[in-house]
Every structure is written in C-alpha cells, then in structure tokens.
Structure 1
C-alpha cells in the first residue's frame, strides 16, 4: 500500500516511517524544505526503494496539492504546540488539516482512509489553545466525506526522544539532589511507549470494521499510575540517587497568588490545574477492536534505559522534533 505520513521527521513520525517500510509499504513523507535528510540519515531498510518525499508547507494549500495522489492511507501526525504561539497552531493544526482533507477528497485512492493522530488533551477540562486547536482538527476530519479513524495518545515516551523523555531520565538519573513535585503527586498519568502507539496505528490498516465505520481510539498505558509512582519508577530505572520531594498544592497556589501581584501567572495557574486532574484513559476500544495491548510504564521505562543514549543532552540540536502528540 501507499501510505502518506505528515510529521514524518518527528519523534513518533520516524518510528511510523521505519515500521511501515519494514512491513513492506511504500511511504510518502511530507517534509518541510530541506528536512528530507533527517529521514535519509536514518538508513531505514527499504527506504531506497519505497520512501518518497513531498516537500511542502501545511500552511500553504498549493504546496499540499498532490501529496495524497493515489494514497491508500494518511497518518496525520504533524502538529504545532503551545510554545509556537496561537497563530502558528491555527495555521498548522486547523488550516493544515483542512488542506489535507481537500487534497484527499480530490486526489486520494477510492478507499482512502484519513488516520488522524490527535491528542488525549482533547478531553482535559483545562484551557489551552493547543487543546482547542486539536479538537477542531478532529472535527474537521470527522466532518469530511472521507473514511477516518482518530487516535488520541496520551504522554508518549521512548528511545530517541531528546526533547521530553531524555531530559526526564537525566533529571531522575542524577547522582544526588531533589526531584521537586509541586503537588501531592496523587493525580494519575497514563504514559504510553512509542512502539505501542505505532502498533495501534498499523493495526488500523487491516481493521475490517474501519472500512465501514468511523472510530476514536484512546491510546495509553494499561492503567493509570500516580505521578509519584511515575517519578519513583523513573528514578529506579535510571539508577538515580535523587529524592522525590512533594510540596503541597495549597502552598504552590499561594506562591502563584503572590507572584500574580507582580506578573502574569496564567501559565503557572494552568499547570497547577492540569496536575490536579487524573489522566487515566479508557483504552477499551483499542483493546477489543484492534486486539492491542500496551506495556506498563514499569516495563517500558526499563526498556528505554538499557543503555545510556539519554545521558547526552541533544535538546538544542534539533535531532528530533517531538510533537508531543
């Protein structure tokens, strides 16, 4: 099959491209100008024969045209996050998705399916423009004339993620010091290994019901774990000597209130609200319909700390562009 991929040079995107090539598919990667080398340098088996590139800019409709010509599936991973600003998130997450839908409706294969990889934050009742832009993105796909499936992964971790996973591992793996948690640490997280995210997506290609029906799949670990357990498991896996220390949320809120007398503390307020909520997601649909089973974080964090790849700080090199989906 011909499978198109956006966000192909990012953290999850590179795992997707590698797996699709290994499974014998032809991959057409949407890349910004000059970024194809990031995939070429990976030397994925099968890339020379079955990896194609389409250079363009999702914010420019004319440069998207033809990307989905003859494609059987699109795995839409590309996304802009809060640190890029509202205008860019609007242009990429919303307008970019509209451009892809238009191209698919005009050029894709007859039984084409749009696989949208969105975000679990869609359901989180804490305001952020990113969350709202991803909700709109999903609605655009669902409201189109295309067959679609939507995946909502939660906190994705894995080897090669130098933007999020590696800094966490280095912090937890320090020989001494404190890991400060600015709340009681009882709220639940549900991290999911990047290989498990990829496995869920590729199972959708042969999901017969998906040819007739439209589905939303929450993608997370098998069960939620408390933030404190998340930190403690990471410290243990990295062999760190740091001590987790919690500051009660009431004291954090008082500190934010005091800071608010002198400067804008909107970001801090949102962060405090976010970690007062549980992030334990229902993965029943993926389990029952895709026959998918993720690994627990206690195993996953051991898998990614078997060697020292994470000890090198490469966050400023642009080695990966983890879109945090």
Structure 2
C-alpha cells in the first residue's frame, strides 16, 4: 500500500487513464482526476469503495489553467495521459490537445505554490521506429513523425524533456506500444474480431508489439518510482505479426480466425485516395495519408530492454490478458 500520497491524473476517463486510476486507488493513493464536462465519469464509479485511496474529480480540460493549477498543486505525482487521436479529431485539434495541452500542464506544474512531484508523461512508441540496423526499435531510434498524431506527441516530448533537463523539473516519458485490454474502443475490438468472428475473414499485413493494459500501468508506476529524470522508456509486449496474433487468439478461445491477408498494395492505395478526398473537401475525412498507410503495413516491433533493466518492467503474453478482455468485448460488442 502507498501511504499519504496524492496523484493528479489527466485523461482519467480514457482507456489507459481509467485503468491507472483504478490501480492508484487500490494501492492507497488519493487521486485527483481531470475530466472534461462531457466525459463519462461513471467508468470509475465505485473504484475507491473499500480502498484506502479517495477519488476527487476536477472538471475542466488541459486548457483550463486555474483547474490545472488546483489539480497538480501539492501532489506527489502528475500522470499526464490526456490526448486525442485522428479518429476522433481533426489534425489541428490533435496538435492543439496533445502538444499545447502538454504545455499547459507543464505551466501548471511550474506555477505550483506547494510544489509538485514527478511528472510521468505518456507518449507513444510511434515516435520511435525500427531501422535498417535492427528490426526492434529502442528509445534511441527517434523517427521522423508521420501524421499529426505522431508530430504532436514528438513535440510534446520535447516540451517535457526541456522541463526536466533545463527548467529544474522532474519528469519521465513512457512510450506504450499497442495497448490491449478492456474498455479500449479501437485497437482491442479490431484485433479480437479478427481472431473470433467468422464475419471478419481478413487480417492486416505487418506486425506490432502488443501489450496488456495492466502491464503498461505497471510500467507507468515503475517509471514514477525508479525512472531517471528526463529519461524515456518503451513499454512494449510481444512482437507479433497480425496473422500470428489472430491465430493465437483463435486457438486460445476456440474462435474463427481471419485467414485472408489484406494485400499491402490495397492499403497503400488507400493513402492517396484519402489525400485526394481531403484535398477536394478541404478537410481530412479519413485519418491517414499515403505515408501513414505505408507505415500500417510494416512490422513495428520494439524492445523494452531499457525499461526491464532500469525499472524492472515485465509483460505477460497475450493469452494472459484474454479472459477479462474477451468478457468485456462480448458484453460491449456482441
């Protein structure tokens, strides 16, 4: 148990943020959770019942400076997870929320009257990428950002690095790979449907590093406790091609695996189409372009060796996360 510690959490109602809040409360932290007025706060309803930690909601957003100052002031840790992706926002909004929102959080930390503990910023593994020298990317493999989401996260990372390195702050950045688990409305149901549903006959080309949400939460807390100031840590899992991941899900659960690979050329062709539609309409209707389409067909594999060595980070195999994830999936999507 953690005694007399208080955490501020942005993005508390999101997939990863809500799981982090649950863990903090279970460990005895008092949690100040930031939520937009329109967000569904019922996801954490009752999360602190019977536990030592208390949950307090702060209603606002990452541009509400007064609320942010109250949120972080005097806390032992600030976990900044608030962000938005291209499926739910325009590129301009993605950049504003992810980059400028991070700037506002850092501003609030600097302005704290009672001090602020370590900030742990959750970025994305997408700002790193495998290269010709190795099929597995590590923290040093900083890549040219592709698309507004990666660009916004890369610029936010630079702000956090500056806060840690040049401004006397204490901050660590973590880079989860493809996170899998209950309450994820995008990647998880897509992956499970390819492994379970006879109506989903095709799987995607390429591969990715799949990590359970509980393992990522472990990594975030380890980064707070053991990470080096200004350091970056990839929090990844098993590196699997899509066809292998789909087969393992099907084998474990007795599902109907997708057996037809979507040709890479078909996905590549979708990029120029998306760009053309965007040019014709004056807005990005589809959240990708030709470079993003090409990236989606590659094997985006990562190593978490640094996190293992410095944080004691570990991850479980895909199958360990299937029971609770599939139970949630069948409740929500079937």
Judged with a 3 Å threshold, the aligned counterparts in structure 2 of structure 1 residues 278 and 241 are, in CA distance, closer, same or farther, namely: closer
2:60 alignment counterpart: 56
Choose from 108, 111, 125 the match for 1:120: 125
SS of match in other structure, 2:71: coil
Q: RMSD in angstroms over aligned alpha carbons?
A: 2.9
**Cα distance in 2 for residues equivalent to 1:236 and 1:284:** 29
**Cα distance in 1 for residues equivalent to 2:99 and 2:272:** 37
Q: Does structure 1 residue 38 correspond to structure 2 residue 59?
A: no
Choose from 220, 236, 240 the match for 2:255: 240
1:304 alignment counterpart: 325
Shift of 1:199: 0.6
1:146-197: per-residue Cα shift (whole Å, max 9, x none)?
Answer: 11100000100112324431343244312x3453235xx3x33111100000
Q: TM-score, normalised by structure 2?
A: 0.80
SS of match in other structure, 2:171: strand
Choose from 286, 304, 323 the match for 1:283: 304
1:272 alignment counterpart: 293
Q: TM-score, normalised by structure 1?
A: 0.82
Choose from 201, 205, 210 the match for 1:179: 201
Q: Does structure 1 residue 206 correspond to structure 2 residue 225?
A: yes
1:90 alignment counterpart: 95
Q: Higher relative CO (CA 8 A, sep ≥ 6), structure 1 or 2?
A: 1
1:18 alignment counterpart: 22
1:183-222: per-residue Cα shift (whole Å, max 9, x none)?
Answer: xx3x331111000001111123332x63xx321100101x
Count of matched residue positions in the alignment of Structure 1 and Structure 2: 304
Asked if 1 retains the 8 angstrom alpha-carbon contact of 2:192 and 2:246, the reply is no
1:193 alignment counterpart: 212
Shift of 1:5: 0.3
Judged with a 3 Å threshold, the aligned counterparts in structure 2 of structure 1 residues 9 and 257 are, in CA distance, closer, same or farther, namely: closer
2:179 alignment counterpart: 156
Judged with a 3 Å threshold, the aligned counterparts in structure 2 of structure 1 residues 258 and 188 are, in CA distance, closer, same or farther, namely: closer
Shift of 1:31: 1.0
Give 1:64-103 correspondences, 5 Å limit.
64-83=68-87, 84-103=89-108
**Cα distance in 2 for residues equivalent to 1:114 and 1:259:** 41
Judged with a 3 Å threshold, the aligned counterparts in structure 2 of structure 1 residues 49 and 285 are, in CA distance, closer, same or farther, namely: closer
**Cα distance in 2 for residues equivalent to 1:220 and 1:257:** 27
1:216 alignment counterpart: 232
Shift of 1:312: 3.5
Shift of 1:272: 3.3
1:48-70: per-residue Cα shift (whole Å, max 9, x none)?
Answer: 96211211121333442322110
Shift of 1:262: 7.6
Judged with a 3 Å threshold, the aligned counterparts in structure 2 of structure 1 residues 314 and 78 are, in CA distance, closer, same or farther, namely: farther
**Cα distance in 1 for residues equivalent to 2:309 and 2:245:** 26
Shift of 1:140: 0.7
2:110 alignment counterpart: 105
SS of match in other structure, 1:133: helix
1:68-107: per-residue Cα shift (whole Å, max 9, x none)?
Answer: 1101110111001112012211221111111111111111
Judged with a 3 Å threshold, the aligned counterparts in structure 2 of structure 1 residues 179 and 278 are, in CA distance, closer, same or farther, namely: same
Judged with a 3 Å threshold, the aligned counterparts in structure 2 of structure 1 residues 91 and 62 are, in CA distance, closer, same or farther, namely: farther
1:226 alignment counterpart: 241
Choose from 159, 164, 167 the match for 1:140: 159
**Cα distance in 1 for residues equivalent to 2:151 and 2:103:** 15
Asked if 1 retains the 8 angstrom alpha-carbon contact of 2:7 and 2:77, the reply is yes
